[in-house]
Amino acid sequence: MGELDIFTCLLYGNARTDSVYKLRFLWIKEVCDDSPNASKNVDLSVLPPCKQCLLQHIRRVNYQVGIRKKSHIPDPDIPLATEEHGWTNNTDTGLIEPPWIDGDILPPQIVDVLEDMANELEVDNVTD
């Protein structure tokens, strides 16, 4: 994953950073800071991917490259799109879907803090 991190950081224009997590932190800090250079309209779609998302994307890319490399063969033996290739089977629809992240979206500590804040707001609204 180290080379992939470095390559992704280079793609996002930061040759000094070797981790996508550091790159995400630096980018968020830059655009959300209180400095005059901070932007008021933050477009999170340009945020570099986290490692879990990047890994799933690379699995799907690798699967597609494998298919394309066999395109000259009349009847190629193509493996099924499985979780190891970055896809999951939706049992309700019968379709394959990309899992966007592998693991938790937020660390459990942040979830706990957000739940506590939501509970405090709920209590405040009830007492008002």
Residues 9-41 pLDDT 10s: 999 999 999 999 899 888 888 877 776 666 667
**How many domains does the chain divide into?**
2
* Closest to 14 in 3D by CA, of 48, 65, 40: 48
Q: Which domain holds residue 100?
A: 50-128
Residue 96: helix, strand or coil by DSSP?
strand
Instruction: Check whether residue 22 and residue 74 sit in a common domain.
Output: no
Cα angle, residue 67 at apex, residues 65 and 73 outer, rounded to 5°: 130
Instruction: Check whether residue 54 and residue 42 sit in a common domain.
Output: no
* Per-residue confidence band for 63, with pLDDT thresholds at 50, 70 and 90: very high
Instruction: Check whether residue 3 and residue 44 sit in a common domain.
Output: yes
Instruction: Check whether residue 18 and residue 59 sit in a common domain.
Output: no
Instruction: Check whether residue 82 and residue 118 sit in a common domain.
Output: yes
User: Tokens standing for 126?
Assistant: 């009830």
Global confidence as pTM:
0.69
